[in-house]
Amino acid sequence: MNIFTKKEIILFKKLNTPAKVQDFLNTIPINFEHDKIDRVKSPLRVMRENNAHCIEGAILGAYILSLHGYPPLIMHLKTIHNDFDHVVSVFKKDGLWGALSKTNHAVLRYRDPVYKNIRELVMSFFHEYFLDNGVKTLRQYSKPLNLNIFEKGWEVEDGDLWGIDEELDKIKHYDIAPKKSLKTLRLADPLEIQAGKITEYQN
């Protein structure tokens, strides 16, 4: 049976606030999937291989938070077809919502728990989510998915967690805004576009 090392368990115990978990996630290099094989690695595999993309980071973050009394919740941010979706781990503290986010870019990052509800939290990502041509792309968000619904042991699974990915696609989603409103969106301006190109890890 796969298990975390004593060193990893001690580390997880120290990561006892969402901010500390986010700081740790930022130290993990991006999984660029150079071999062109899509993966959804478990927290154990992320720790062993020391890289993660957004859903892998969200799952790991949710797992660590669950060790400190938070439900392990992840949420899907869905875009138009020619942009990449994003997955974050959401948490509630003192009645307000925040989010952990594993990303390589200067935007779509951590959100402090200051939002009254999930929609308010999601909308904080809206104006940051755009293509290089300035087109804003966020269109839907899912209700939070509680990873406790899955069979125990997903956190140390050898195989890919495609069941979590599939359930995240199937779970109820909500539109960001009416189609009429989305037709008149202003493009992100050149300075915003330039800032959005800043990356943390080089491919």
User: How far is 176 from 178, CA to CA, in rounded Å?
Assistant: 7
In a domain, 1, yes or no: no
Residues of the chain with pLDDT under 70: 1
Task: State how many domains the chain has.
Answer: 1
Give the pLDDT score at 124: 98
Residue 115: which CATH number?
3.10.620
User: How far is 63 from 91, CA to CA, in rounded Å?
Assistant: 11
CA angle 3, 5, 9 (to 5 degrees): 100
In a domain, 203, yes or no: no
User: How far is 163 from 58, CA to CA, in rounded Å?
Assistant: 15
Give the pLDDT score at 1: 62
Give the pLDDT score at 201: 93
Give the pLDDT score at 36: 84
CA 88 remoteness from chain centre: 2
Give this prediction's pTM: 0.96
Domain span holding position 37: 6-196
Give the pLDDT score at 150: 97
Render pLDDT for 90-122 as a digit per residue (tens, 0 to 9).
Answer: 999 999 999 999 999 989 999 999 999 999 999
Phi-psi region of 33 (alpha: psi -120 to 50; beta: other; left: phi over 0): left
Give the pLDDT score at 203: 83
